[in-house]
Chains A and B, each alone.
Chain A
Amino acid sequence: MTELICTVCPRGCHLKVYPEENYRVEGHQCARGEKYGQEEVKNPCRIITSTVCIEGAEHPRCPVKTNAPVPKQMIFNVVKTLNNVCLRSPVKAGDIVVENACGTGVDFITTRSM
């Protein structure tokens, strides 16, 4: 059994996950929480947010996020791909910054029009 705190919403439910019982979950208050509990034990993933350089905009950095969760062990590799990017204003929120980061199939997209 693994004890977890659910992070799908700010409520922070305290979950118990039983891998030996086909990943049965206790303590969740919604279906998304149940799924989270199972995924978190099988293959924990996270949305990653960071910034990239941008030129010609009102600020020198543009915020970005992954458009899908990335496996936890890939986080540092994926973030490194942002170091070599430099955007040029204008960009629109949702523009792809890095495609298929480290072969995860996940893209980094901008989260602000600048």
Chain B
Amino acid sequence: MINKYDVAIIGCGIIGASLAYELSRYKTRVVVLEKENDICCGTTKANSAIIHAGYDPQPGTLMAELNVKGCQMAKELCADLGVPYRQTGSLVLAFDDTDMQTLNTLYRRGVENSVPGLRLLSRDELRAIEPEVSESAIGALYAPTAAIVSPWEYGIALAETAVKNGVDLLLSTEVLSITDESDHWSLQTKDQVIKADFVINAAGVNSDIIHNMVAEPAFKITPSKGEYYLLDKSEGDRVRHVVFQCPTVNGKGVLVSPTVHGNLIVGPNAVATNREDLATTGEGLDFIRNSAVRSVPSISFGENIRNFAGLRANSDVDDFIIGICARHFVDLAGIKSPGLTAAPAIAVHAVGLLKDDGLKLENKEHWNGTRKRIRFSELTPEERAQLISNNPAYGRVVCRCETITEGEIIDTLRSPIPAHTVDGVKRRAGSGMGRCQGGFCAPRIVEIISREYQIPPEQVLQDGEGSFILAEHTKRREI
């Protein structure tokens, strides 16, 4: 354990992970503190999974600049990190004249933000490239650079690569208070004090709480809940692009989009709520269905495999809140949409801020910013045969819906940031993501986790602390 770090990052969602990745290039000693028992468990795991082109933010804002940059960076970064990414392009639909005016505004904004390739499509052009959209859509804004991504794999890949390059990660480590020791910061956690010269606040929906530990309140986070439908792969090619409706004050509206895993995602709504509320509601889901069929009437919601909800770190500031709020203390706060897109650009920007604030950065001689993962289902028969002959664990299919093998499950348990819960395995290997939602594989994954970590099955968690799956043994002897 290092006595004092150069940089401590609070929060290991996509923002903390991106910054850790960026800082791992340098000889800087970095620690990431995550309050949950795994990384990327907040907004990063529950969002629309879109890389936005960048026509939404107001020109001149940091959000606009970092969105467009992040969108450019994502493609190469995902390729380097083995993260599922597909440049689908996006469409914003217009249903009436007011919407058409909005499209014109978005188009002009996009051009000003330097979004490449934007085009306004006529009704016929729209239907030619997206035949399932509603007949009542009269035009669309097409943004070819928009993409879809696996958000949690993106975050995990960034963090894993950072850890592989020497960054320390502490899980289940919530920062309770922060003390200015004049020449460094002391971060009090449940069972230890972490010292660091520089501190980064990447605490997502809790970033105002962290900010207020060191500075006067300057902003307030009001989490905005978004609920979603995730539909079976049989609906996965219902649309080819990310299909938006015109944005309103409440957000970007309900979208319909393919996912990189082959499903169809539909959502979100936007409801102001508290920091803990991740429950889906009957009203919310009704709203999403009714809104979505305006864009794509043929969606079959009977093919739903999962509903979920995520929280946006919405603040009372119109832009991202990025800056030095105390000496050697940087806020990366209020990172609402398009935070996932902007993340790598935010990280580069933040490194610049740290440098300006006096952080010494010296490149490592050996830095490896790439990562590979074995994905059995994507291999050719010959490659599969070879893989199994090298390691028979790749011959046992554990998740039948997604064709995930025991070898891949074990890989996640031995990765730089090992999974130790059923959902942790799911986020890394993709098991349980399919149409049976773990009905078949979850007990087998419990068994593998139990065996590999040599813990009894009743101690294996579904996800967060306390999410026990099994109770005690049956047939306990009467004493």
B-contacting residues of A (Cβ < 8 Å)? 51-53, 61, 80, 82-85
Contact = CB atoms under 8 A, between A and B. Distances in A.
B478 A51 contact: no
Residue among B474, B475, B478 with max Cβ neighbours from chain A (10 Å): B475
A103 B56 CA distance: 79
A85 B475 CA distance: 9
A51 B474 contact: yes
A65 B478 CA distance: 20
Contact of B478 (A52, A53, A61, A80): A80
B477 interface: yes
B190 interface: no
A82 B478 contact: no
B372 interface: no
**Dominant SS at the B interface?**
loop
B366 interface: no
Interface string B409-438: 000000000000000000000000000000
A83 B474 CA distance: 8
Interface string B453-479: 000000000000000000000111110
Closest 10 CB pairs of A and B: A53-B475, A83-B478, A83-B475, A84-B477, A83-B477, A84-B478, A52-B475, A82-B475, A83-B476, A51-B475
Contacts, number: 15
Interface of B: 474-478
A84 to B, nearest CB: 6
**Dominant SS at the A interface?**
mixed
15 contacts: A51-B474, A51-B475, A52-B475, A53-B475, A61-B474, A61-B475, A80-B478, A82-B475, A83-B475, A83-B476, A83-B477, A83-B478, A84-B477, A84-B478, A85-B475
B87 to A, nearest CB: 49
A40 B478 CA distance: 32
Contacts of A84: 477-478
Contacts of A85: 475
A80 B478 CA distance: 9
Given A51-B474, A53-B475, A61-B475, 5 more contacts: A61-B474, A83-B476, A83-B478, A84-B478, A85-B475
B280 to A, nearest CB: 36
B240 to A, nearest CB: 48
Contacts of A82: 475
A61 to B, nearest CB: 7
A111 to B, nearest CB: 16
A51 B474 CA distance: 9
A52 B475 CA distance: 7
A30 B319 CA distance: 78
A82 B477 CA distance: 9
Contacts of B474: 51, 61
A101 B268 CA distance: 59
A53 to B, nearest CB: 5
Contacts of A61: 474-475
A85 B477 CA distance: 8
A33 B476 CA distance: 38
B214 to A, nearest CB: 53
Nearest to A85: B475
Residue among A51, A52, A83 with max Cβ neighbours from chain B (10 Å): A83
A84 B476 CA distance: 8
Contacts of B476: 83
A53 B476 CA distance: 9
Contacts of B477: 83-84
Contacts of B478: 80, 83-84
Contacts of A52: 475
A83 B476 CA distance: 6
A100 to B, nearest CB: 19
A61 B476 CA distance: 12
A53 B477 CA distance: 10
